[in-house]
Amino acid sequence: MQAHAVEAAEQCGGTFVPEVAELQKFDRLLADWPSDRRIMFCDEAEAGRSSLSLIADVAEDGPDGTGRGTPWAIFIGPEGGFSDRERERLKAMEGSVTVSLGPRILRADTAAVAAMALWQKTLGHWV
């Protein structure tokens, strides 16, 4: 996936390549989570309020009111989705915002592109 991020940045003439982290156990990842890093949690079970307004509301808490000065991570679920326990843990984390990528279940690679487009539409450029 990192190679795709590099290729996409090159194709678009971008100067910043988002980091695609290696797979980790869920509990370990959250145990070591930096307190200043926001989470965009893409949950196929989410319904209701617009995802754009949810991200914008959380972003306003950033240092410059835009979210640009705050590090973010995008969580895309595994095949079969997140478990109920995982969903509850992510929703309970400070700085986490749960969003919907639409009414259909997406493949992981498609969901990643959709999530990044949603993030950029709301917050602008990556840096």
Residue 45 lies in a domain: yes
Burial class (CB in 10 A: 0-12, 13-18, 19+), 76: buried
Confidence band of 127 (pLDDT split at 50, 70, 90): very low
Three-state DSSP at 60 gives: coil
Residue 7 lies in a domain: no
CATH number of the structural domain spanning residue 36: 3.40.1280.10
Instruction: Say how many domains are in the chain.
Output: 1
Confidence band of 52 (pLDDT split at 50, 70, 90): low
> Distance between CA 68 and CA 47 in Å, rounded?
26
Rg (CA), the chain: 14
For the chain, report the end-to-end CA distance as a whole number of angstroms: 20
Q: pLDDT tens digit string along 87-112?
A: 999 999 988 888 888 888 888 889 98
pTM above 0.75, yes or no: no
Q: Judge whether residue 69 has pLDDT over 50.
A: yes
Percent of the chain with pLDDT over 90: 15
3-state percent breakdown (helix, strand, coil) of the chain, nearest 5: 40, 10, 50
Q: Judge whether residue 85 has pLDDT over 80.
A: yes
SS (H, E, C) 71-121: CEEEEECCCCCCCHHHHHHHHHCCCEEEECCCCCCCCHHHHHHHHHHHHHH
Residue 34: give the domain boundaries: 21-123
> Distance between CA 44 and CA 73 in Å, rounded?
17
Residue 109 lies in a domain: yes
> Distance between CA 99 and CA 53 in Å, rounded?
10
Residue 52 lies in a domain: yes
Q: What is the mean pLDDT of the chain?
A: 79
Mean per-residue pLDDT, 2-28: 80
